[in-house]
Amino acid sequence: MELTLAWRLADIISTVEFNYSGELLATGDKGGRVVIFQHEQESKNRPHLRGEYNVYSTFQSHEPEFDYLKSLEIEEKINKIRWLPQQNAAHFLLSTNDKTIKLWKISERDKRAEGYNLKDEDGRLRDPFRITSLRVPVLMPMDLMVEASPRRIFANAHTYHINSISVNSDHETYLSADDLRINLWHLEITDRSFNIVDIKPANMEELTEVITAAECHPHQCNVFVYSSSKGTIRLCDMRAAALCDRHSKFFEEPEDPSSRSFFSEIISSISDVKFSHSGRYMMTRDYLSVKVWDLNMENRPVETYQVHEYLRSKLCSLYENDCIFDKFECCWNGSDSAIMTGSYNNFFRMFDRNTRRDITLEASRESSKPRATLKPRKVSTGGKRKKDEISVDSLDFNKKILHTAWHPKDNVIAVAATNNLYIFQDKIN
C-alpha cells in the first residue's frame, strides 16, 4: 500500500464516505462541515502515479441549534453522509446530525450570463428610462465554481439521536434510525415520514436494548436490517407489514457461558452493520470482533475475525476511560473479498476472506510521505517483545480509527485518524 494524500482537517472527522463511482470522497466533522475530495485524473507526465484526491468543495452543512422545548443543545456534528447514485451532471448527498437530515446538491458552474437588460455588469439596476434597446444575454466562460446548495431539509421526525441513514435501492426512498425508531422517507417529501420500526416500550423503565445501526439491502428495496445493543440483528421485510415490529429473520450468536463477564453485554453491542455488495452477506462490528453472516443462516456467523483480542485483559481500564463505548465502523472492498475496520493507536485491520490472512497497518505521519510503503504492525501481549512489535501496555487509546471507507472499484482506502484523513492505495510497479 502507498500513501497518496494526508490532509489535516480543523476538527475531528466523524464520517467518511466514497460515492458510487469512487470519484468523490466526502468527510463530515464535529464542526458540522462537509469536505469533498475529487479524484484527479492520471497525469501524462507522471503516468506511474495514479490520480490523487484533492479538495473539491467545502461547505457548512449543519449549525448548532437549541431545542427550547426540551432545553437541549443540538450539536452540529455530522453523524453520517450517504451519496445518492448520480443521475445527471450534479451530485447529491444526504448528511445528518443528531436531529436533522439535509439533501445537498453539488454542482459545477463554468459559465455566467452577461449583457442583462435591467442590470449593469456589476449587478446594479439600470434606470428603465435609459434603456433604449433590447440586448440578448450571452453566456461567457468563467473560472470553475463548485456550489453546494441545500435542496431538502428533513426535520422534526426523531425524538432521539439519529445514528444511521441509508439510501434504498429504489433510489427514491431512504431510512433514518435513532435509538428507538426507524423512519422511511421519500426523497421528494420533507414534511412527513413513515415510522417502520418502533421498539419504545410503554414504560421506559422496561427498556432493555436500543437500535445501534440500520441499513437497506443493496438490491431488494423491501428488505433492511437493524442491529441492537444486545448484539442481535433483525432483518425486516416491508412487504409483510407497514410496521416492521415483527422481524423476518433474527441473527444471534449464542454466548459462550465460560467467557461471560461483567463486560459481556457492553462488548457484544453492535456498532455497525453493512451488507456486502452482492447482498448475500452482511458484516457486523462489535467491540472486539468483526463477524460475517450469511443471510440464509441465522444461528451463527459464517466468519469471525478478532480485531484486537489482546484488549480483553484491558476491559476494566477501557471501561473506566469510556473507550469501551467507542463505536467502530467496518467496510467491504468492491469485490466483497476483503474487509476493513479500525482499532486503537491509529491502527486499522484488514482481513482477506479467501486466504483468512489478516494484517495490521498504522496511519501515521511517518507513513504520510509520498510513495512511502506501509509496514505491517504487530502487538505483543506479554513475555518477550520482538524488535518490531509494540507492547499492548504502550498503545495510545486516544488515537483511534473509528471511520474507514473502501473505494467501490479500486484498492483505494480512506482512513480517518481523529482529525487527519489518510488515503492509501495499492503500490504500482
pLDDT tens-digit series, residues 160-206: 999 999 999 999 999 999 999 999 999 999 999 999 999 999 999 99
Pairing of strands 33-39, 303-306: unpaired
Backbone angles phi, psi at 302, to 5 degrees: -85, -20
Contact 42, 58 (CB under 8 A): no
Specify the pLDDT at position 66: 85
Contact 29, 14 (CB under 8 A): yes
Q: Which three cell numbers stand for residue 261?
A: 463477564
Specify the pLDDT at position 371: 67
Specify the pLDDT at position 51: 61
Per-residue pLDDT band for 5 (boundaries 50, 70, 90) equals very low
Q: Could you read off the pLDDT of 340-389 as tens digits, one per residue?
A: 999 999 999 999 999 999 999 999 877 666 666 788 888 877 766 777 78
Count Cβ atoms below 10 Å from residue 204 Cβ, excluding itself.
Answer: 8
Question: Stretch 138-161: mean pLDDT, rounded?
Answer: 87
Is the pLDDT at 3 greater than 50? The verdict is: no
Specify the pLDDT at position 43: 60
Specify the pLDDT at position 4: 45
Strand intervals (E) in 333-373: 338-342, 347-352, 358-362
How far apart are alpha carbons 27 and 6 in whole angstroms?
13
Question: Stretch 274-302: mean pLDDT, rounded?
Answer: 96
How far apart are alpha carbons 349 and 360 in whole angstroms?
5
Specify the pLDDT at position 46: 56
Question: Stretch 143-161: mean pLDDT, rounded?
Answer: 90
How far apart are alpha carbons 91 and 180 in whole angstroms?
31
Specify the pLDDT at position 47: 53
Percent of the chain exceeding pLDDT 70 equals 92
Backbone angles phi, psi at 259, to 5 degrees: -100, 10
Specify the pLDDT at position 6: 44
pTM to 2 decimal places: 0.87
Sign of CA dihedral 20, 24, 30, 32: negative
Specify the pLDDT at position 7: 44
pLDDT: which is higher, 258 or 36: 36
Question: Stretch 251-272: mean pLDDT, rounded?
Answer: 88
